[in-house]
Amino acid sequence: MTPFFEGIPPVSFEGPDSTNPLAYRHYNPDEIVLGKPMKDHLRFSVAYWHSFAWEGGDPFGAHTFERPWHPQDSMERAKIKADAAFDMFDILGQPYFCWHDADIRPEGDSFADSLSNLEEIIDYFGEKMATRDVKLLWGTANMFSHRRWMGGAATNPDPEVFAYSAATVKACMDATMKLGGQNYVLWGGREGYETLLNTDMSRELDHMGRFLNMVVDYKHKIGFEGTILVEPKPQEPSKHQYDYDAATCFGFLQKYGLEKEVKLNLEQGHAILAGHSFEHELATASALGVLGSIDMNRNDYQSGWDTDQFPNNVPEVALAYYHILKAGGLGKGGTNFDAKLRRQSLDPVDLIASHVGGMDVCARGLTAAAAMVEDGGLKNALTERYSGWDTKGAQQMLDSDFDTIFASVLSGEIAPQPRSGRQERLENYVNRFV
Ligand code: XLS
Ligand code: NI
Ligand code: NI
């Protein structure tokens, strides 16, 4: 153990009555929920960028954190950061982690230098992973922080930036595959625009579609078995981002022939920014067959920003997992804490406590969702509400045409009777479980 987390013992499950602030009160990894261990439903992951790379800056002030691996400009300090990160994984015992290339290695003077830094740190991770259970949920490329990406990556007006993007993603896919990653994520923070006055949207969308096809071709070429995931977000940092929300992404995937190859990584806070609820995004992706993985966090509802706080609202999280369970679970995806400390939370123990709390909130949400699935109340209400469609006549109508339907309505044989949607009764029902 490095000095950073010294004195913090591994976190274990002590049950709901425990008052130990660093114990799991609800996350009991091996507890069987709907036939499988809780840990295999939730598949928790720590995000390297928020926990280790972010220095606590905001638009009005620079770093507040002073970590032993700052400034993050040398391989030596990248390794000190990795040592602390893996210590935290040992303490939490979560099964996965995620990274961007820029989180884990210093930027070099050239593409080749950056690549060699990446390869060196990936080998370092590989050695650490060989002696532990922790695995890679996904890798991704940071194509939004460095100034070269200011006008976009694959959608940049400069073809040389498109080329740099392709080389960067190839390197990150290779690194992800080397570490046995379960997925590869693309989040296009600069794939959008600041103003339409300087933007050729149709050309940019075609370039983005071509780029994603190259990603999929490369996945098959190297035999990467993970899932390619796109992460929707409507804006921030760009004024408008093309991957606005789940429905927009699906339309994009269909247009470029990728709806069978690419799924979505949905984030709670991004759903809110898009003017949706998280369960709306989950239900949409599930209905369209593209639910892949989730980034779990919460936004401050007053701020209008992606505040990336740790989840703390069990009723909301329960509905999210209800939709996930209904969709058959996360598969190769997981629950990645795309969540960061508040910038005043300076202590190493804050990093542990935030994850412990987030994991417990998700465990409570999952358990409540599983109880609703087992009880079947919501499912029965749906079955009853749509039962008219189970009749032969209703099914025949779907195969008929306007003239036939018109005739039966005109004859008086059809006389719809409005029925209650029972929303309050269903809300009361959900409150029994959360
Ligand atoms: C930013 C995104 C980002 C992605 C990975 O808002 O959530 O963190 O998850 O690039
Ligand atoms: Ni995210
Ligand atoms: Ni985000």
Q: List average pLDDT for each run of 10 residues in the chain, which is 434 residues long.
A: 96 98 98 98 99 97 97 98 98 98 98 98 98 98 98 98 99 99 98 98 99 99 98 98 99 98 98 97 98 96 90 97 98 98 98 98 98 98 97 96 97 95 98 98
pLDDT of residue 254: 98
What residues contact residue 426 under an 8 Å CB cut-off, 6+ apart? 378, 381
Active site includes 63?
no
Please choose from 144, 267, 308, 336 the residue to mutate so as to test ligand 1's pocket, defined by most ligand atoms within 8 A of CB: 267
Give the tens place of pLDDT for each residue, 388-430.
Answer: 999 999 999 999 999 999 999 999 999 999 999 999 999 999 9
What pLDDT score was predicted for residue 304? 82
Contact 64, 56 (CB under 8 A): yes
What was the pLDDT predicted at 146? 98
Candidates 55, 98, 82, 99; CA nearest to 334 is 98
Q: What structural domains and CATH numbers belong to the chain?
A: 3-375 (3.20.20.150), 387-431 (no CATH)
Q: What is the pLDDT of residue 302?
A: 86
- Residue 222 backbone phi and psi in degrees, to 5: -90, -5
Angle, CA of 9, 339 and 327, to the nearest 5°: 105
Give 154's contacts (C-beta < 8 A, 6+ positions apart). 162, 165, 166, 188, 191, 207, 208, 210, 211, 212
What pLDDT sits at residue 303? 83
Ligand of minimum distance to the alpha carbon of 100: 1
Q: Does the annotation mark 401 as catalytic?
A: no
Residues with CB under 6 A from ligand 1: 100, 140, 185, 187, 231, 233, 267, 295, 306, 338
pLDDT at 170: 99
Query: Whose C-alpha lies nearest to ligand 1, atom 3?
Result: 187
Other beta carbons within 10 angstroms of residue 411's beta carbon come to 8
What pLDDT is stored for residue 382 in this prediction?
Answer: 98
pLDDT of residue 98: 99
